[in-house]
Structure 1
Amino acid sequence: MWEMAPPKGSRLFQTLGRRPVLRAGYAVVIGVLVLSVVEAYRIQVSLSGQHEEIYRRYVDEEEHINTLRRNLWQAGNFVRDFFIRSTPEQAQTLRSQLQTLQAEDADVLQHLAQMSPPSPVPPGVVKSLREFWAVLDPVPITMLHASNEEQYDFIQREIVPRRGELYAAMLDLSDADKQRLRDYDRQFAESNGRAAERLLAMLGLGVLLSLVVAAFSLRHAETLEQQADRHYAEVEEAKRELQQLSGRLLEIEEEGRRRLSRELHDEIGQTLALLQIQISNALAALQGQPSGPREQLERARSLAERTVQTIRNISVLLRPALLDDLGLVPALQFQLEDFQRRSGIACEFVEESVADYLPDPVKTCIYRVVQEALHNCEKHSGSSNVRVTVRQRPGSLEAEVADNGCGFQLNAKGMPDQSRGLGLLGIRERVALAGGSLEIDSSPGRGTRIALRLPLEAQPQPAPRVAAEVPA
């Protein structure tokens, strides 16, 4: 069958590796964003400078044109005042005033011409302005003794038309400046729009790249999540298989213990018992004989008795026959009696409604946990009293071993440190394989309590057993 080719993004990831591609993508996105910020700042600075320069030029031109216009009116007013009072002193004052105004106009025209770019003052206006001042310049001399009619005629013929013409030209210049300002505003708006378009294009590119990188990141995250889920499933499967293997090993171990215990008890134990009987018969047959052979047979019988007892002890340690033949409670009672005889620690045993028949994994688990707990108590606790409680409830079997010993410090997981917690770790593993729960409660100076609960499947209801306390 035909197989679909992987997407280009997958081939790119496979060729270059996912992390380098993502790093490069993030670097490009950050670079585009940085360039966008720099471009926005540059546009803002440039447009602000241009706009400020345009308005500064407009205000400067208007101010100088207003100066020209004001000087025209002042010149006419000064001439009128001179005509009202035509004296040599007034003529001297008019001459000084006209020279001052004329110098101001010259400075204004020079400033406008030196602007960059030069202000577009029409040459005709400059020529008319020079002619106006040329007409007014000899007035203090030529019109000092003129009659009122001559003075009026001079004003109407020379000053009023020229001043009106120049004033209209100045208004045209102001209108032209305003039009240039509007043109500048339009150009500024167009430049601002183009700059905004460039900036939006860069931001759009950044957003697009961000979406692409985000898509690759999400895909990479999904791949990692799938790999993590797959690894977790594999670990769980390996853990489950390991638990099954551990449970099977415990079953094989218990079966081996049971078989070996039976072999020791039934075969070797019986053989040694027969040997002991034969020795006893030999001793009976040697009655009245010398003491040498009898003493040797006595030692042999004593050795056979000790060997039989050792075999029985080993058989009990491997797998007590009571556990299989009589059930959990008698096996625990025998274990506590042996523990008290061996260690000298007072024992108390309490059982409540425990059935005679229990599933073999359940009773084996309870027996081994109690056995390990008693071993730890004898070896580490230094206690003077031990209490073992076993009770059966609907759907579960509970057991508890408590002592008044020295106790120990638990870690965050409720277990002692590994230097002294291997036995308890084995208890926890055995209980977990049986599907139960384990609780360990201990602290320095407060003793230790080990409680476990195992689930029970529905069994034929046993005859109720009255709760009792059996001193071991």
Structure 2
Amino acid sequence: MIGPAPVSDAARNGIWRTRITAQARDLSRSTQFVIAAALILGLTMFFVGNLVSVGIENAAVQSAAEAGAQYMDTFLEPYVQEMSRDNGLSAESVQSLDRLTQSRSLKQHIVSIKIWRADGTVVYSTNKAITNHKFPLDEIREALKGNVVTDLKDLDEDENEFERELNLPLYEIYAPLRDSSSGKIIAVGEFYEKADSLKREVNQVREQVWVVVGAATLAMLTLLFFIVRRGDKIIQQQQVALRLRLQEQTRLHISNAELQRKIATATQEFSRVNELTLRRIGADLHDGPAQLLTLILIRLDDLVENCSAVDQESLETIRGAATDALREVRDLSRGLALPEINDLSLVEELQLVAQRHEQRTGTKVTLNLARLPKVAPLPLKLCLYRFVQEALNNAYRYANGEGQVIQAQYSDDVLNISVRDRGPGMAADAMLLEKSGRTRLGLAGLRYRVESLGGLFSIDSCASGTSVNAQFKL
């Protein structure tokens, strides 16, 4: 049976990072800020506290070393004056130094003493085993320059074997020893002092520093936390308010979309019913008044044969009026009843309406048709037919049919159609659709037809002609 494949360390680390990131995102902004601020501010304060502690420690050690160096110079310098001549210590001086190191007052603080020549040779030491031995030390060179050198050390050099066996915390001090007459440095004195009290003082100061730094860090973090938390609450309240507004806007948008859908459906239904009504009116005109007028004309023909000359003249007048009435009724009937355009494309529909207008008026209509959709809904077809028909009628009535052009193009899901003429143009008040009148009523009807399908209607008119425009988003 084959077990699951082992997971590599890289994959395991990636999984843990993903989990930690996901958990961090679930935290509030104030909590995320406090964690980030604690890391950044904590590291900063750690380095600051450490720097201050080290500075205080170095200052305390250096101060103690300088005080100890002055104290030891008083004891050691009288015994090394002969080194300015002999470059060494006599037996009497060594014995005197031994007695000095054994004194009770000195042993309370100093545990070991060494005297160095300038070449790094030990001429005196509490540990007699290293006397007259040479050790390379940087501290000797610094002390020969007149500096007091000190350090809390681990005492790991070869020359510190005796001090290591004491198993005590010590710090060593190198002090220059001078000739009393010339002030020239003739030797270097080294002594090891117990560091118990100094370490206690340094640790106490370090603790105080860390307490102050920690308290300041905690205070800043607390203050920042409450500031960020207050801001976070305000942001959360605003987010809730915005979310509620967004939900309300979404609800209103859905409601508006539903209303627009219902309006569009109602508009299409109204357009269909309107066309059916117009067809019925046209049929009623054809079957009613037109038939009656035809009957009147037939009866007039019968009466003409049995009437006098005077009566025949009156009958001819009546006959002419009836003929004109019959022609107008038939024209109205044909205008109200649209042809069957359901199976026609938009190009064929526009060609048909132009052809009918040319036949009815005896004028010329130019077609500038670009690529048009092959399929369009019936309400749009009805609207376009009536739009072009009414615009051409206005061009014939007010521009004598001069320069009649139908232009249509389809681009980026937008259908643009316009009917232009080269007439004298329209007066400014003539384009006010709110006023009454046959022309304004026709223009208002055009605008209402176009806008009912969500289109845009406009009129451009100047002294060189008029353009009636419609635009539809398909």
More helix by share: 1
After TM superposition, the score normalised by the length of structure 2 is: 0.48
Q: Which has the higher contact order (CA 8 A, sep 6+)?
A: 1
